[in-house]
Chain A
């Protein structure tokens, strides 16, 4: 029997043995000056002609440079090149001097720009191809100058030239930029296996981008020192926890990504303006922001934030007033309680918002049923108009053309993002004249979206990490300047 006693003891000791075998682990967790950045979602595609997800676009901004970027007011600004509008259908771009260099040390020329944009004609499966369908031809005048000729006049054309420029010779050789990117940005590609490794061109500083889906695990990794930096996508209680840690530095900034409730305007109840106003008055945004959101979150009234160059009007806010909401519903002839179905993704924070809104709407006579669906099903339902209410966020929107794409009568899917099937002749006229101020006011009055908030941005980093701040649109541009004094 002694044998079995010993066996049992041996089994119970296994855990200790496994752990003890790893006591040297602690000393091996050092990144040899590499800055490790944990993200909730890894980039999917490093070819800027294909990338659409936020993580890929943020990384591609660092690997490549584009002709145009945006200033703090989101106005198109020169990046690789400055431009002049020769006539309504012609733009001349001149590359800045000194010429940018690709990471293989070849200079970036006008021919590379032409090759990049010409390649869209052959990429039938690129989500960006439609953006450049209006380009008639691209003429290279010399190594520094080129002309874009358009089929139709487009005053916003320069704002579309934000695709990273690729080397013409590698395009011709069908280089797989998705996995072997080569650009002229501040960071160059090193490897991409379990993690993406990049290196800063100017000083050789290496970065690892590590996908860690679970927010709690991201925080534990930061606390343990396996990760140096993380940004966004944490529930506020974890941010507060990090703020209380002496080894961690948390920086916050205002956000520019617009969260909203989308409404199905073909729904017999929701097409009534009074009902939409009632819903707007039935949500206590300030309470949600103060209790369950990170600092610097702002109440929103339009897709584009107040600092955007098109926003010169202070729009009134729809304050929380359940009594008024109930009166509006009664005036609309709705039988109370009004039953509505709200669709959202399975993201824990989204479900939390939905649950709070459900409780807030009850005193207004709105009985909100929450349906939390996996992302693919949820987004497919939204695009197909299979919803009454849904919650989403517009990320990284810079140009006022979003109003055309999201609300014009001719932008109903599959021709645009007018997922609520909103049709408004007055708005269509305003959109045709690009009267942004009047457009913003009209949308705010008609409420095809119920505006919620611009979520604040934050980054948490270990002490010793410097020169990194979160940006309103959540980009990672400061990786170009970040420094690590800890090592």
Chain B
């Protein structure tokens, strides 16, 4: 029953996003007919094209037409490039997925061990250094960190390409840019969360039972400290899947975020609508997945709660 409730709420959110996007796009300044025909078109041509595109119909009917096309997976075509939007999404979304997952892996593999280490060395110089590094990393914006990494690893050391998607290693620098930011947040979160549970009675009991320290930390303390970490990872993953515009732009990474921003700049309304829908779907799916992970991390958590 609970899973049905989740699916119903999932559909409601998506429908809400569809309505909001549709309305917002019709409210912002600019007109698709102007974009297509330019400024020298005659009034008759404008009226004709408006009619051909169905833009002269009432908003509610336009929305109905949009939904019916959407149900047939027809997103329409780009105003500027005349490319079917489904093709654009197909070509851009895998790139975003790839970058998001690698960034997440980097973030997790740096953030969680460093967070554990800092918690175990709480109050000592090692903790101070880890805290200092993570605060510094979280304070570095992508538009600064990205070019710095390019300068060091591409221009000075010559190990990696500056940007683009031509080589297999092109993904490393954008993934590091995103992964470092994520690792800084995870380090702080893991440290705080672990410190809260390390002094609990059950940890003391586990130690008293003679369990080895790694066993105590990994099987008992970390598992209990995992819930807030999962929340943060879920939220961050949602943002990564929505496309990280700045990083994608700096590294010429053809992902969904860059496509969305470009379509807004060029007033390519059908592309904007499709991108927003994909982004919303990603967010909702990641949230759903996060909820499922909660249950695995802590069986006391139920969907209904």
Contact = CB atoms under 8 A, between A and B. Distances in A.
B147 A194 contact: no
Contacts of B42: 130, 133
Chain B contact residues, majority secondary structure? helix
Contacts of B250: 214, 217
Given A1-B120, A19-B153, A377-B30, A220 B40 contact: no
A14 interface: yes
B41 A130 contact: yes
A378 B195 CA distance: 51
B161 interface: yes
B45 interface: yes
Contacts of B113: 4, 7-8, 10-11
Contacts of A44: 80-81, 266
A67 to B, nearest CB: 20
Contacts of B38: 52, 127, 130
B104 to A, nearest CB: 14
Interface string A119-152: 0000011110111010000000000000000000
Given A44-B81, A376-B264, A217 B150 contact: yes
Contact of B49 (A3, A25, A125): A125
A477 interface: no
B76 interface: no
A3 to B, nearest CB: 5
Contacts of A20: 159
Interface in B80-115: 80-83, 91, 106, 109-110, 113-114
Interface string B28-44: 11110010111111110
Interface string B1-40: 0000000000000000000000000001111001011111
Given A212-B252, A374-B264, A417-B39, A25 B161 contact: yes
Contacts of A14: 106, 109-110
Interface stretch (A98-106, A229-237, A326-334, A379-387): A379-387
Given A376-B28, A377-B29, A377-B30, A26 B155 contact: no
Nearest to B215: A3
B43 A176 contact: no
Interface string A346-381: 000000000000000000000000000011110111
Contact of B249 (A127, A214, A220, A381): A214
Contacts of A45: 80-82
A210 B252 contact: yes
B213 interface: yes
Contact of A8 (B49, B114, B251): B114
A156 interface: no
Nearest to A194: B165
Contact of A376 (B45, B150, B169, B267): B267
A213 B151 contact: no
A390 to B, nearest CB: 14
Q: Interface extent on A, as a size class?
A: 35 or more
B252 A213 contact: yes
Q: Interface extent on B, as a size class?
A: 35 or more
B185 interface: no
Given A214-B250, A223-B155, A127 B163 contact: no
Interface in B241-298: 249-252, 254, 264-267
A176 B82 contact: yes
A380 B249 CA distance: 24
A220 B29 contact: no
Contacts of B165: 194
A4 B166 contact: no
Contacts of B264: 374, 376
B158 interface: yes
B41 A226 contact: no
A405 B40 contact: yes
B267 A220 contact: no
Given A44-B80, A376-B264, A22 B169 contact: yes
Contacts of A377: 28-30
A18 interface: yes
Given A11-B114, A376-B29, A124 B45 contact: yes
Contacts of B214: 3-4
Contact of B217 (A4, A5, A10): A4
A374 B166 CA distance: 30
A226 B162 contact: yes
A125 B36 contact: yes
A50 B82 CA distance: 9
A121 to B, nearest CB: 12
B116 interface: yes
B192 to A, nearest CB: 17
B252 A220 contact: no
Interface string B143-157: 000010011011101
A94 B281 CA distance: 58
Interface in A170-216: 176, 178-179, 193-195, 210-214, 216
A329 B58 CA distance: 49
Given A11-B117, A26-B159, A45-B81, 16 more contacts: A7-B116, A8-B116, A8-B126, A18-B176, A20-B159, A29-B167, A124-B48, A125-B36, A127-B37, A195-B166, A376-B30, A376-B266, A377-B30, A380-B267, A414-B46, A415-B43
Interface of B: 28-31, 34, 36-43, 45-46, 48-49, 52, 80-83, 91, 106, 109-110, 113-114, 116-117, 120, 126, 130, 147, 150-151, 153-155, 157-167, 169, 172, 176, 213-214, 217, 249-252, 254, 264-267
19 contacts: A4-B214, A8-B114, A8-B116, A8-B126, A10-B113, A22-B160, A26-B158, A29-B167, A45-B81, A125-B37, A127-B38, A194-B254, A210-B164, A211-B252, A212-B252, A217-B163, A384-B29, A414-B39, A417-B39
